[in-house]
Amino acid sequence: MSNTGKQILEGIRILDLSVMTAGPVGTMLLADLGADVIKIEEPGHGDLSRGLGNLFMNGESVQFMSQNRNKRSIRIDLKQPEGVALFLRLAKDADVIVENFRPGTVKKLGIDYDVVKEINPGIIYASGSAFGQDGPYAMWPANDPIVQAVAGLMEMTGEPDGPPVRIGAPLPDFGTASMMAFGVTAALLHRFRTGEGQQLNVSLLSSSIFSTIPRDGETLVSGKSPERFGSGHPTMVPYRNYQGSDGQYFFAACFTVKFWANLCNTIGRPDLLTDPRFKTNTERTQNREALDTILSDIFATRPASEWVAILSAADVPAAKVQTYLEALTADPQVKHNKTLVPMQHPVAGDIQTLANPVNFSKTPATYRKPPPVLGEHSRDVLADFGFSVAEIAALQASGVVSGSRLEK
């Protein structure tokens, strides 16, 4: 492993077999830091996410483009023996392989870790899955919401008198993506120190349950699952959405004694501080309905935005509940953080993707390539791995490798 430029992972080659969201987002995080991520896609339709959703720009899926920048795409038919041989030739000179097929798929194809490590002992081979590589659920067909259901996330989300609710964003996917990127970089560091490659596995289920900290301790000690409190919190009060006089919602969070005191003094109710029902957080939690009724009546006297300004000025955590569109396009802090990255796509034209959330002072993320058109870099990738012009032509003529619609 070598760092030949300003980016941390420059010089690292990653063969990315992953599809949908968790794997591709994980490899995109690594690509942002300079890794050469080569997206290996099946010849027909490529990554499943290329055909998902309802929004397309000149035939390019918005969903796919949001999670595949800084990558190169090559189409290889891994169902042909020649395709497998080609993959193994690439794997011999790669640093990392990432896949998230159903467990056992790469073994059936003949490209699993045990095969690759024989020709490349230093390979880092990362496998993602819904539930793990083995166990009673390993072969279940599943995606993010299925895992939300199994992990207990749905059951703890929603209003007290309503049904379980799916989390609005695919957070298990993104937690898994982060864990995968973390695991790969840690494994690369280990290889740098020892020369040893290794296999690593990450699952949506384990990542999702890990993300529930500190609910785990509360549940294991009490022997009870978390109740549903809507926007509220099981162990902190006041800590929820309230509605202003304009019908808009804002969130107020008093998770320290100071914030609770600031809130009471700011709304003109210092008496609440000495009310025996509300003196401590434990007592407020036990009497949450009574306190929420008092606060809701007070907050209904002014617009939500005014309350946010008043409470924030008084050092009480508060924020207006924005739409996702407002957050992306109008929020001044989001704009200040340069959260949207403009890119020029060869087919879709002007697009925007979300910036890498990690800010490095010396080795910042860069946005070098727009999300690839299916098979856009087939020839370039093979040339970079030492294939001759004649070999590339033969592979394309046989259908083992396919190009892109950009080719004339």
Helices (H), 123-170: 144-151
The predicted pLDDT at position 378 comes to: 97
- Peptide bond preceding 81: is omega within 30 degrees of 0, i.e. cis? no
Q: Which of 292, 320, 348 is the last residue of a domain?
A: 320
* CATH number of the domain within which 263 lies: 3.30.1540.10
Question: Per the domain annotation, does 216 fall within a domain?
Answer: no
Q: Are residues 90 and 160 in the same domain?
A: yes
Q: Are residues 313 and 345 in the same domain?
A: no
Q: What value, to the nearest 5°, has the Cα angle with vertex 261 and ends 233 and 291?
A: 45
Dihedrals phi, psi of 120, to nearest 5 degrees: -145, 80
Is the C-alpha dihedral spanning 371, 376, 377, 380 positive or negative? Answer: negative
Q: Are residues 274 and 383 in the same domain?
A: no
Q: Are residues 95 and 172 in the same domain?
A: yes
The predicted pLDDT at position 1 comes to: 39
Question: Per the domain annotation, does 219 fall within a domain?
Answer: no
Q: Are residues 51 and 102 in the same domain?
A: yes
Distance, CA of 10 to CA of 3 (rounded, Å): 6
pLDDT tens, position by position, 32-59: 999 999 999 999 999 999 999 899 999 9
Q: Are residues 42 and 147 in the same domain?
A: yes
The predicted pLDDT at position 408 comes to: 64
Place of tokens 């309905």: 289
The predicted pLDDT at position 242 comes to: 98
Half-sphere exposure of 293 (CA within 13 A, CB side): 3
Q: Which of 320, 352, 380 is the last residue of a domain?
A: 320
Question: Per the domain annotation, does 220 fall within a domain?
Answer: no
Distance, CA of 50 to CA of 34 (rounded, Å): 24
Q: Are residues 191 and 301 in the same domain?
A: no
Q: Are residues 64 and 157 in the same domain?
A: yes
The predicted pLDDT at position 5 comes to: 52
Residue in 36, 77, 95, 173 annotated catalytic: 173
The predicted pLDDT at position 3 comes to: 39
Q: Which domain holds residue 396?
A: 13-211+335-402
Q: Are residues 42 and 190 in the same domain?
A: yes
Answer yes or no: 32 catalytic: no
Q: Are residues 306 and 351 in the same domain?
A: no
Question: Per the domain annotation, does 326 fall within a domain?
Answer: no
The predicted pLDDT at position 6 comes to: 78
Q: What is the DSSP string of 272-341?
A: GGT-TTTSSHHHHHHTHHHHHHHHHHHHTTS-HHHHHHHHHHTT--EEE---HHHHHHT-HHHHHTT-EE
pLDDT tens, position by position, 132-178: 999 999 999 999 999 999 999 999 999 999 999 999 999 999 999 99
- In this structure, how many other beta carbons lie within 10 angstroms of the beta carbon of residue 108? 10
Q: Are residues 94 and 143 in the same domain?
A: yes
Name the stretches of the chain with pLDDT < 50: 1-4
Structural domain total, the chain: 2
Distance, CA of 160 to CA of 229 (rounded, Å): 5
The predicted pLDDT at position 38 comes to: 98
Q: Are residues 189 and 91 in the same domain?
A: yes
